[in-house]
Amino acid sequence: MTDTKELIARLSSEAITPTRPLSPGYWGVRLVAVLVIYAVGIQFILGLRPDLVVQFERPAFAAEAALLVALLLASAVASVLAMYPDAFQKPRFLLLPHAVCFLLSLLIVRQMFMLPDVRMVMPATSEAATECALCIAAVAMIPSALIFILLRKGASVRQYQAGAFALLAAGSIGCLTLRLAEANDSMLHLAAWHYLPTLLFAALGAVVGKQLLKW
């Protein structure tokens, strides 16, 4: 009996103390900080369009930029929450990127049917159209890899969503920085070569997430 008690005591003393998993706030703050620093660095490389101050006087442009920032933040937060099997009991937060995408889509469609503002830059041709999509893809590569490395630390049961949010956050960086750098306000160009590729990246992220985030 004594030997049994001693064995139990010894095993208890040698047992590894269980650690509480880090909260999404811990990862979320760090991820957002890294993405913001990266975005600032990319913006420094791409530069700013010379009429940026004038463009921010247009409510539509200011709203578009604000929604892109919101999409970046919402997607980053949602991807972190998707790491946890129960979304850390905040499943409603996973709807934020969808809500921002919906508002951004409404804004884009509305601008397509608005009379052009005299302050808008409307190039006659879009010679660098494909380059815009390639630029967004190139900008998104590094943050995509970083977010997936983070997501693999979790135990997601929402691999599709986690992957989609990861590439949506990364693509939002490219979309935002290029919008502030390129002097082109043609909504058809922006929809076809900025926003549509970003959504396609998110769809690709869902496929990649299913493969890379398996348990």
Q: Does 10 reside within a domain?
A: no
Residue 11, pLDDT score: 56
Between residues 206 and 11, which one has the greater pLDDT?
A: 206
- Range 174-190 burial, b when 16+ CB lie within 10 A, else e: bbbbbbbbbebbbbebb
Count: domains in the chain = 1
Q: What is the mean pLDDT of residues 164-185?
A: 96
The residue type at 102? F
- Cα dihedral 73/143/155/16 (nearest 10): -110
Q: Does 71 reside within a domain?
A: yes
- Range 86-98 burial, b when 16+ CB lie within 10 A, else e: ebbeeeebbebbe
Q: What is the mean pLDDT of residues 109-127?
A: 84
pLDDT confidence bin for 2, thresholds 50/70/90: low
Q: Does 21 reside within a domain?
A: no
Total Cβ atoms within 10 A of residue 126:
16
pLDDT (tens digit per residue) in 53-67: 999 999 999 999 999
Highest mean pLDDT among 122-131, 149-158, 199-208: 199-208
pLDDT confidence bin for 25, thresholds 50/70/90: confident
Q: Does 95 reside within a domain?
A: yes
Instruction: Compute the distance between CA of residue 209 and CA of residue 10 in angstroms, rounded to an integer.
Output: 43
3-state secondary structure at position 184? coil
- The answer to whether 143 and 170 have CB atoms below 8 angstroms apart is yes
Phi, psi angle pair for 82, to nearest 5°: -70, -10
Q: Does 73 reside within a domain?
A: yes
Tokens 């986690």 sit on residue: 162
Given a cut of 70, is residue 22 above it in pLDDT? no
Spatial CA neighbour of 60 closest among 197, 159, 200, 179: 179
Instruction: Compute the distance between CA of residue 173 and CA of residue 136 in angstroms, rounded to an integer.
Output: 8
Q: Does 40 reside within a domain?
A: no
Q: Which pair of tokens denotes residue 112?
A: 């397509």
- The whole domain housing 189 covers 46-118+135-212
DSSP letter string, 77-97: HHHHHTTSTTGGG-GGGGGHH
Contacts from 22-26 at CB under 8 Å and sequence distance 24+? 23/88, 24/77, 24/80, 24/81, 24/83, 24/84, 24/88, 24/90
Q: Does 101 reside within a domain?
A: yes
* Helices marked H in 113-195: 129-151, 159-181, 187-190
The residue type at 81? L
Residue 20, pLDDT score: 53
pLDDT (tens digit per residue) in 26-63: 888 999 999 999 999 999 999 999 999 999 999 999 99
Q: What is the mean pLDDT of residues 191-196?
A: 95
Q: Does 76 reside within a domain?
A: yes
Q: What percent of the chain has pLDDT over 70?
A: 87
Given a cut of 60, is residue 15 above it in pLDDT? no
Task: Give, as one character, the DSSP assignment of residue 114.
Answer: S
